Amino acid sequence: MPRAPERTPVTPSSICQGVRDDDAVAAATFDELDARLRRVHRDVVDLHFDVLLDLYERRVNKHEEIGVLGREFWQQLHDGGIGLVGAAVFLDDRYLPELALRVAIDQLALLHEEVAHDSRFAVCRNHAEIDAARAEGRIGFLVTMEGVEPLAADIHLLRAFHELGVRCIGLTHVRRNLAGDGGLIAPSGSSPQGLSPFGLAVVDGCEEMGILIDLAHLNPAGVEDVLARTRRPLVISHTNPRRFYDVERNSSDEQMLAVAERGGVVGVSSVLLSPSPGGATAEGFVDQVAYVAELIGIDHVGLGFDFFDFIYRAMPPQERAAFEQQLTTVHLPVDLLDHSHAPAITRLLIERGFSDSDIAKVLRENWLRVIRSADHARV
């Protein structure tokens, strides 16, 4: 794995000097910045959203009527200028192991049912379908999987989920499964074990089928195994640099550099920005976008917001307390809680001096490039 260079402490003034154009920003008026924001902020790609978890809970357990996507999410996505969302198949602990496959299939079925009910949305399997959805003004969902628990130990199910539209797979969440171990939300202590034989088989299958492999949540030893076994571009759909919040769930400079060397993309998350509330802000988020851009290059940075507030607020107090005891107290940025806040990130990037072309890379072009590369791998 490439080694990161020795670096000076991170401060806002030291971040991403190479992509700033301070003179241009200083000369711009408020109206000019606002016009530029409206021009640049569009078709945003967020590669990680736990919408399917919430959809399943509402439709199955709360017996809500069809139309959840429209009632609960469309306005935020529309206001945020979102064009494509990575809709993650993810399972709560209470469904494991017996109901894992059933709930995962139900999540996908409910997504397709909701999209068939509401023409403002589309499920996209490839870059051509993403382009078509954008041309029609529809918000696209690219199906991903966060943790391979739905596969149990049956490698043949990987192809079945690929046929059902899964295009990006993270092997684990925080918990251990039959593929490997997740990274702990702690500076150390994750399992030193790498991927299991089944985990290696999943990696091989993803490479063969052109499914993007997502390193988010994977423990450091597992990341090393994926890097050693693969040759195609890799992604980290939602993460934060350990330089800002030093836990093994987040990504080291070396890991992010390795993803960039493969032509992959690192998505910056809003969840583990900081161990304290003061660092969990939209400004702090943009600090991390700028840091990653400086470290690995602007061509390898994207957005993986992992908006979590709607799930966190829905937890009963006892469940929330158990979550915090088992994992961590999450400091969510009050000015970056859902997709409707996404334009604030673009405004901050403009104010930091990022060019229009570089902002476009962060908002959409980098993710679309790596999705297109996976399409070519399936040809």
Decide if pLDDT at 8 tops 80. Answer: no
Q: Does residue 86 contact residue 274 with C-beta atoms inside 8 Å?
A: no
The tens digit of pLDDT for each residue in 318-353 reads 777 777 777 777 899 999 999 999 999 999 999 999
Q: How do strand 44-49 and strand 82-89 relate by DSSP bridges?
A: parallel
Give the total residue count for the chain: 379
**Dihedral sign (CA 35, 37, 40, 41):** negative
pLDDT at position 378: 72
The tens digit of pLDDT for each residue in 277-291 reads 999 999 999 999 999
Q: Which amino acid is at 272?
A: L
Q: Does residue 360 contact residue 34 with C-beta atoms inside 8 Å?
A: no
Read off the pLDDT of each residue in 173-183 and give the average, rounded to a whole number.
Answer: 97
Q: Which amino acid is at 207?
A: E
Q: Does residue 211 contact residue 348 with C-beta atoms inside 8 Å?
A: no
Q: Which amino acid is at 53?
A: L
Q: According to DSSP H, which parts of 94-250 are helical?
A: 100-117, 127-135, 156-163, 197-209, 220-229
Q: Does residue 54 contact residue 311 with C-beta atoms inside 8 Å?
A: yes
The tens digit of pLDDT for each residue in 72-98 reads 999 999 999 999 999 999 999 999 999
| Burial state string for 310-347 with b = 16 or more CB within 10 A and e = fewer than 16 | eeeeeeeeeeeeeeeeeebebbbbeebbbbbbbbbbbb
Decide if pLDDT at 359 tops 60. Answer: yes
pLDDT at position 14: 40
pLDDT at position 312: 79
Other CB atoms within a 10 A radius of the CB of residue 88 amount to: 29
pLDDT at position 377: 81
pLDDT at position 7: 36
Tell me the two tokens of residue 378: 């399936």
Phi and psi at residue 69, to the nearest 5°? -60, -45
CA torsion 256→260→261→264, rounded to 10°? Answer: 120
Max mean pLDDT range (230-234, 308-312, 329-333): 230-234
* 14/49: higher pLDDT: 49
R_g of the chain, CA atoms, integer Å: 20
Q: Which amino acid is at 111?
A: L
The tens digit of pLDDT for each residue in 9-41 reads 333 334 444 454 555 555 568 888 899 999 999
pLDDT at position 15: 45
Read off the pLDDT of each residue in 108-126 and give the average, rounded to a whole number.
Answer: 98
What fold characterizes domain 40-378? Answer: TIM Barrel (3.20.20)
